[in-house]
Amino acid sequence: MKNNKVYSLPIPELKKLRKNNVNYDVNLVQNCILEGINGDCYELNTVFDLTKANGFNLKLRVSENEETVISYDKNSKIFKLNRDKSGKGVTGEREVKVNLQDEKISLQIFSDYSSLEIFINGGEYVISSRIYPTQEATGIVFEPMGEIKAKIDFYEI
């Protein structure tokens, strides 16, 4: 509990699964793929400073025909998970209204072969979903809407 709100966090034991850490501290100004950040089973931790941006799209489990898209629109404060191209299974969008913290949003994302868990702003919100992309869907694409200062930690699990 924090300020009369329930927060959810991943169990600390998940840290024991981490391997092959890749770190970036970058300014994102255009769509990009960062070297060493891809796969199907991973933990991706980000802090996006949106002071000079209107939002972002973060495409996970990307292949030629597939992608699972997480996005944030700073004006509407809407964070979305779009599964329309996530492979077989459930489609559609899930969304939650998220306030930035000092113009920043933090994400802790866990992906495996058939699930996705997104912890937003230290567990203030959590979105979990089943996804069934093909084995080729291992790309991760960052799409800033403006200039984003990003801190990124990536681990294979």
pLDDT digit string, tens, across residues 128-140: 999 999 999 999 9
Decide: 72 and 55 in contact? Cβ < 8 Å.
yes
Write down the pTM of the prediction.
0.96
Q: Phi and psi for 15 in degrees, rounded to 5?
A: -60, -25
Q: Which two tokens stand for residue 26?
A: 């970058």
Please state the rounded mean pLDDT for residues 106-117.
Answer: 96
Q: Is the dihedral of CA 123, 125, 130, 134 positive or negative?
A: negative
Block residue for tokens 């990124």: 152
Mean pLDDT, the chain, rounded, equals 97
Please state the rounded mean pLDDT for residues 111-115.
Answer: 95
Distance CA 152, CA 157 (A): 16
